[in-house]
Structure 1
Amino acid sequence: MPEKARVGVLISGRGGNMAALLYASRLYDCPYEIVVVGSNDPDAAGLQLAKAEAIPTFAHSHRGMKRAEFDAIITRELEKAGVTHIALAGYMRLLSAEFVNHWQGRCLNIHPSLLPKHKGLHTHAAVLAAGEAETGCTIHIVTPELDDGPILGQARVKVLPGDTPDSLAVRVSYAEHQLYPRVLADFVSAADRPDALLERVRGLALNLPAAAEKLSHGSPGFYVEGGKFFAYFSDNHHGDGITALLLKVSGLDEAAMLIEQDPDRFFRPKYFGPAGWVGVVLTDGPDWAMIETMLGAAWRLCAPRRLAMLPY
């Protein structure tokens, strides 16, 4: 069986969806495991359940801290646990753009409505006030916009005569506990899909200062505004059957050294190789920390001097 995805779950309360994800992860064929549960509330009830099930936990109060500063602490805890994907499960804290960009394409959220309807809080009251015949829940990829991002799955729940926000919330929670484990399992199983790999590359590349994206040579390319391209995402380009990241390196010697050290991971890309580029195969579990470092080095090689001297 392939190596399981390592999921970190963030909660703020009782952790009902966290529990659903945890117990589903113990089925023999589940493609993910819960490796850590974290919270912005040290008193969150769900932390006790995770501890009882021998899942490592962490908690930090966000009070008095700037959003990006607090989120940097959360990222460090998640990375310490070797997390590959994040599942927000009743995490009642808005995330900073820095956090979302760092985890782009790897962070999911569950929302108790049929998005794009009824974003934000008090969704069940809003459904009843609107006189709607059905509601439900939605799993989506997290983006900087609140309750936005590509929808991965939805489950529908009928609104019954006499429903209150509380009674509706109970039935929606049943649907959530069925939907979230299934969608997360499908999502992590597709981690080697070109679209998922591009999202992860995009998150790392566009997190660099003044980085932008546009199509070039038929592929998504990443460049520094006022400078040059420093990376391209290549999927079966020129019919080579490879999904890869093409990166600017310091020269032919560095490219040759990388290829010699790991010929299964690095290669000399057609047309780009003679100009001092190297290809990095993205399938079969690449070292994403290494790729992030290499993207930063490529960015510095291609950025205007005024930007290249800046820390990031």
Structure 2
Amino acid sequence: MIHQLVSIKGLELVAKVRAFCMELPEVEEKVDGFGHITFRVKDKPFVMMGEKDGQPSTAIKTNLTTQEFLLQQEGTPYHKTPYIGQHGWVSIPDTDKVPWKEIEDLIMEGYARTAPKKLLSQLQATRK
């Protein structure tokens, strides 16, 4: 069972993810009923974070093709997220094993899969 982030490593990771997510249009941070920190757009989560035995874990919404690609890599640091993996969610139990740029790209994909088209075009306009 994954619980709230309390370790120094977990708090540092959530600060890094927060800094990235909060740059995206209309993102809100909420703690869900399980104590996970979630980043949402229009109240739909695209990143969820928790911790087990002092090890932070990050789950990101991807599409099923991306999920399958990530899970099939040899020695992959990714896992299918319990309970919601069938919807394309991948978990990264140890983010030290994944380049930060790759995590940012996955967060962007999660946001793009979750946000309304209006917000995506707003985002693309500001990134040109």
* TM-score w.r.t. length of structure 1: 0.35
DSSP 3-state at the match of 1:247:
strand
In 1, Cα distance between equivalents of 2:44 and 2:103: 19
Name which of 91, 110, 123 aligns with 1:298: 110
Distance 2:12 2:66 in 1: 28
Q: 2:98 aligns to what SS in structure 1?
A: coil
Bigger Cα Rg = 1
Residue aligning to 1:116: none
1:223 aligns with 2:35: no
1:129-180 Cα deviation digits (max 9, x unpaired): xxxxxxxxxxxxxxxxxxxxxxxxxxxxxxxxxxxxxxxxxxxxxxxxxxxx
Query: Distance in 2 between the 1:282 and 1:206 partners?
Result: 22
**Mapped pair 1:307 → 2:119:** yes
- Give the Å deviation of 1:200: 0.9
| SS at structure 1 position matched to 2:31 | strand
Amino acid at match of 2:84: F
CA distance in 1: counterparts of 2:94 and 2:100, whole angstroms: 9
Q: What SS class does the counterpart of residue 63 from structure 2 fall into?
A: coil
Rounded to whole Å, the distance in 2 between the matches of 1:278 and 1:220 is 16
The 3-state SS of whatever aligns with 2:107 is helix
Q: How far apart are the structure 1 equivalents of 2:27 and 2:10?
A: 21
Instruction: Please list every run of 5 or more consecutive structure 2 residues that lacks an aligned counterpart in the other structure.
Output: 1-7
Deviations 1:185-206 (A, max 9, x none): xxxxxxx711111111111111
Going from structure 1 to structure 2, the CA distance change for 1:244 and 1:299 (only over 3 Å counts) comes to: same
Length, aligned pairs only: 116
2:93 is the counterpart of 1:243: no
Identity %: 25
> In structure 2, how many angstroms separate the alpha carbons of the residues matched to 1:275 and 1:234?
19
Aligned residue identity for 2:38: G
- Aligned residue for 1:309, secondary structure, equals helix
RMSD over aligned CA atoms reads 2.0
Question: C-alpha offsets along residues 273-312 of structure 1, whole Å, 9 cap, x if unaligned?
Answer: 1121011233435311111111111101100121122214
Structure with greater contact order relative to length (CA < 8 Å, sep ≥ 6)? 2
User: For the Cα contact (< 8 Å) 2:46–2:61, is it kept in 1?
Assistant: yes
Say which SS state the counterpart of residue 15 (structure 2) adopts.
helix
Partners of 2:74 and 2:16 lie apart in 1 by 22
4+ runs of 1 displaced by more than 6 Å? Answer: none
Bigger helix fraction: 2
Please report how far the alpha carbon of residue 262 of structure 1 lies from its aligned counterpart in structure 2 after TM superposition. Answer: 4.8
> 1:257 Cα deviation (Å)?
1.4
